[in-house]
Amino acid sequence: MCPFVFSVLCGQQNLSLLILVHHKEMHEVTRRKITFFFIVKRKPKLLKDHTYIIGIDPGTVVLGYAVIRVDNKKNNAGEAIKIESLGVIQMKKEQDHYQRLKRISEKISFLMETYKPDEMAIEAPFLGKNVQSMLKLGRAQGVVISVGMVYGAEVTEYSPRKIKQSITGNGNASKEQISYLLKNMLKIDTMPKYFDATDALGVAVCHYIQTSSPFAKMMGGKKHKDWGSFIKDNPDRIKG
């Protein structure tokens, strides 16, 4: 058996790759006679004191947004998360769909320039029956994602069910239940008028939960079949 060894270095991704290939005959190489062993080395990601996350609930009439600052030295969501900006983009006055996309681009660009978020989390559109509405919603989401990437943010999409499950433990939770838990979790005195803003905050917090291992472990340990079972297992998160 004759071994053939070579290495590949990808500088942009700080990735070093070592491949060992073993085959019986040099002049006759097929897939079945090749075995690959990979050794991947990445430079550790430096942990900053704070991480800024922007959460987006896409829409073509009302778009919700939330910017949170995460203290990476703390593991408890209530202590680690501070809301920097929370609100909606109203587009009822713009009758033209393209003007609405322009408004979205301008507002998201302003938020990116102001808070310089490291990461963007956006709710993925659910499948609807109205094709035209889905097309317009997809365009709005595309504008948001493109602006985020232009400003260097890491973009992650989450399904509505994933967001609900991360916040409440129940993938079928209502908007009212999500709003109630966020209010108590983050100690918010007055919740926004529009659920679109609350949903955007939920997206941002969901991303924090999914990317913060100690908290994710605490939150994701058990699935709950209904709202009642979640309250029973998490009495400390329900106040009032």
Residue ranges per structural domain of the chain? 2-41, 50-237
pLDDT of residue 234 exceeding 60: no
Report field, pTM of the whole predicted structure over 0.75: no
**Residues annotated catalytic, as ranges:** 57, 123, 196
What integer pLDDT is reported at residue 76 of this predicted model? 84
pLDDT of residue 34 exceeding 50: no
Each residue's pLDDT tens digit, 158-187: 999 999 999 999 999 999 999 999 999 999
Q: Which fold has domain 50-237?
A: Nucleotidyltransferase; domain 5 (3.30.420)
What integer pLDDT is reported at residue 231 of this predicted model? 57
Name the 3-class secondary structure at 20: strand
pLDDT of residue 5 exceeding 60: no
Measured in residues, the chain has a length of 240
pLDDT of residue 227 exceeding 70: no
What integer pLDDT is reported at residue 97 of this predicted model? 94
pLDDT of residue 223 exceeding 50: no
Give the pLDDT mean for 220-230: 47
Each residue's pLDDT tens digit, 37-89: 334 444 445 568 899 999 999 999 999 999 999 999 888 888 999 999 999 99
Tokens (6 digits) for 159: 């399904």
The tokens 């987006």 sit on which residue?
56
pLDDT of residue 230 exceeding 80: no
Kindly state the DSSP code that residue 124 receives in the 8-state scheme: P
What integer pLDDT is reported at residue 233 of this predicted model? 57
- CA nearest 19: which of 8, 28, 33? 8
- Residue 8 phi/psi, 5-degree rounding, is -125, 135
Contacts of 83 (CB under 8 A, 6+ apart): 66, 67, 68, 186, 188, 201
pLDDT bucket at 195, cuts 50 / 70 / 90: very high
Q: What are the CB-based long-range contacts (under 8 Å, 24+) for 104-109?
A: 104/63, 104/140, 104/143, 104/144, 105/143, 105/147, 107/63, 107/65, 108/56, 108/65, 108/143, 108/144, 108/147, 108/148, 109/147, 109/151
The residue among 196 and 130 whose pLDDT is bigger is: 196
Pairing outcome for strands 50-57 and 39-41: unpaired
